[in-house]
Every structure is written in C-alpha cells, then in structure tokens.
Amino acid sequence: MKRTTRSIGLFFCTTLLAVGCGAPDPSHGESAGDTGGGADEGKGADIASTQEAVYSGWTAYTSEEYAPIICDSGGLVNAAQCSGSNCDNTRFLCQPSGGSAGGVYWTSYFSEESTNYRYCNPGYWVTGLACNGSYCDNNALQCQYIYGISPINCYWTGWVSEEGGGLLSFGYHYYARGMQCNGGHCDNKRFYVCQTGL
C-alpha cells in the first residue's frame, strides 16, 4: 500500500501507566465507562516512547508500522476515519474539549477474538490509539482524565470500516470514551461517545 510521508512532531511520552480498563458488556446499553469494575484484560499496552500529537484537527493515520496517534492539551476525539484493507489505517479528529488535561493511561490491547472493546475509566476520555499485528489487528486506547466536564447523553455509534470512505463523525460536542471492533483483523469499529456537560 502506498503511503504518504507526513511531517510530524514526535513527543516523548513520560506519563504512561500500565493499567487495564475493564467494562461491562456493551450490549446491555449501560453507561459502562461511568461504572467502575469489570474484568481487566491484563496490563496496559506497551507503547513505544515516541508518539505523534496534534492539538486540534486530524491526526495522521496510524497502523502497526507507525507511531500511536494522540490528541494533546485537553483535545478529545470527535470523529474517526479508516482506510486500507480491513480498516488497516485509522486517524482521529481532535477537537478542544473545554476542560483541562489530567493523568493518562493506556488500556490493554483488544481485538475481535476475545473481549472486543475497551472503555475509559470514569472521568477519562479517549485521546489516542495504538495498534499492532497485521492490518492493525490489536488496538489499545489512550485515556486521559479531563477536569471540568462530565459525560452526558452517551450512545454507541454505528460501525465504520474503509468501505464508503470510512468516515464516522460523532456529533456536536460528542467525544469518544470507548471503542469496540468486530470482523477479521478488527475490521469494523464503533465508538462509545458522550456529550460534554458541566
């Protein structure tokens, strides 16, 4: 697959915590990220020490060949897009949240073969994505605590893959708090998103 070389800034990561992020079964429609508990799926992802960060706008694409993508400075994920076979390449649209950034951790990796989703813990929102394995098969989410906002009106989005442009927008002031995948190599993705409230 031909890839475009991008000029990117690399940031040294000093705040990774090795913590898993368990959650109840998403089919029950609970605000699962807001309830503690659930089974951990092992330790947090072992992420490389260099990461790609943007303050606002679209990140570059990530895949198993590239560094993780990260929103920075309180920015949250408002849309996602993927391209390539099996949704191989994924990028996020980062938008300012209106809150202040706090601590960060990575979930453990997940794919369609077992527990195929992760939620961020209460108070935390998705701010990054890393993957490994063929076609970005295994995914891990970066979760960051955001002061000054609370999740309201949460819902699961529809599924997205590379077919039809692979673009999924979450809606006005809706941001990701979890992700789920199915299909070979985690081909189809959907997001647990919430609106920001005070």
What is the total count of domains within the chain?
A: 1
In the predicted model, is pLDDT for residue 10 greater than 80? Answer: no
Q: Is 179 among the domain residues?
A: yes
Q: pLDDT, tens digit, for every residue of 121-180?
A: 999 999 999 999 888 889 999 999 999 999 999 999 999 888 878 999 999 999 999 999
Residue listed under structure tokens 């260099």: 50
Distance CA 83, CA 73 (A): 27
Q: pLDDT, tens digit, for every residue of 172-195?
A: 999 999 999 988 878 889 999 999
Which domain does 21 fall in, by range?
10-197
Q: What is the pLDDT of residue 6?
A: 35
Distance CA 144, CA 141 (A): 10
Q: Is 108 among the domain residues?
A: yes
Q: Is 25 among the domain residues?
A: yes
Q: pLDDT, tens digit, for every residue of 55-75?
A: 579 999 998 888 999 998 789
- The pTM assigned to this predicted structure is 0.74
